[in-house]
Amino acid sequence: MSEIDTSFAGAVSEVGVEVFSLEYAEPGVMKETGVLAGIYGAYTQVTGKRMLRASLSFGGGTVQYDGSLLDGTALQIDSQDSLLAFRLLGGHATDLGSGITAIPFSGFGYRLLIDRLPSTSGYTREQTYLYVPIGVETAHNAGNWLWGVRAEYDFFIQGRNHSHGYQLDVNLIQNTGHGFQGSVYFTRRAKQERKYSLSIEPFFRYWNIDRSEVVNQGSNFWYEPANNTSIYGLRGSILF
């Protein structure tokens, strides 16, 4: 289903599962790749042409870390990643005719990536992004089906990296960057004899974040390198 969907009046709840590949890279420093899986939930309130939606997703899995430890030792090892995302969106629908609706939207987004690197010299990194989604979505009515596309630019407000472990506890702030998201959704409408609809949605997400400020901690200087994240996935959900 779309982020905001005018085909459902009143309140709509959505629950589903997501599977996605993740690649996180700090060019010249390290890279992580792997497949994560998790759950997704959303609640949409439709009033006339105005829509409000809150969504929450959580996924986790094993990724392959290719880089080095804090002491400089080269390392290739499996690590555990978790990804949490919360979004609150508002939009207003415009009828374009021929069963097509356009829905500009904006709101607030929160993203938390937790990376747990094992080993006696390993560490845990909690990476938080705050951002403003700005995008547009289409809804195409096609009989028993509803389908559409969503394109979004994510205006980066601020990122915070808390790294701790192996004689380390440092907070690093990233102030510049940007992101993009997009998806295509296909929803099979509920029939009269049943009260739920089914939806499938392939999606991608991309972040490009600049280097953090430098922090002096004792005799050491720390910074978070410039990094980028690419995610490609598939969501399946039930709407009721």
Q: State how far the Cα of 51 lies from the Cα of 223, in Å rounded to an integer.
A: 40
Q: What is the pLDDT of residue 71?
A: 67
Q: State how far the Cα of 123 lies from the Cα of 163, in Å rounded to an integer.
A: 7
As a whole-number percent, the residues of the chain with pLDDT over 70 amount to 92
Instruction: Fold for 10-239, please state it.
Output: Lipocalin (2.40.128)
Q: Are 230 and 236 in contact (CB under 8 A)?
A: no
Q: Are 91 and 127 in contact (CB under 8 A)?
A: no
Mean pLDDT of the chain: 91
Q: What is the pLDDT of residue 58?
A: 99
Average pLDDT rounded to a whole number, residues 52-72? 90
Average pLDDT rounded to a whole number, residues 211-217? 90
Token pair in block for residue 229? 């994240």
Average pLDDT rounded to a whole number, residues 219-226? 89
Q: What is the pLDDT of residue 194?
A: 61
Q: State how far the Cα of 226 lies from the Cα of 240, in Å rounded to an integer.
A: 42
Q: What is the pLDDT of residue 6?
A: 46
Q: Please check the confidence at residue 2 and state whether its pLDDT lies above 80.
A: no
Q: Please check the confidence at residue 17 and state whether its pLDDT lies above 60.
A: yes
Angle value at C-alpha 214, between 212 and 217, nearest 5 degrees: 130
Q: Looking at the DSSP assignment, which residues form a beta bridge with residue 128?
A: 112, 160
pTM across the whole model: 0.90
Domain ranges of the chain: 10-239
Strand 94-97 relative to strand 145-164, pairing = unpaired
pLDDT tens per residue, range 109-141:
999 999 998 866 678 999 999 999 999 999 998
Average pLDDT rounded to a whole number, residues 196-224? 92
Q: Please check the confidence at residue 192 and state whether its pLDDT lies above 80.
A: no
Q: What is the pLDDT of residue 75?
A: 84
Q: State how far the Cα of 213 lies from the Cα of 235, in Å rounded to an integer.
A: 36
Closest CA to 132 of 107, 110, 149, 111: 107
Name the more confident of 62 and 191.
62
Angle value at C-alpha 130, between 40 and 168, nearest 5 degrees: 100
Q: Please check the confidence at residue 9 and state whether its pLDDT lies above 80.
A: no
As a whole-number percent, the residues of the chain with pLDDT over 90 amount to 71
Cβ-based neighbours of 72, under 8 Å, separated by 6 or more: none
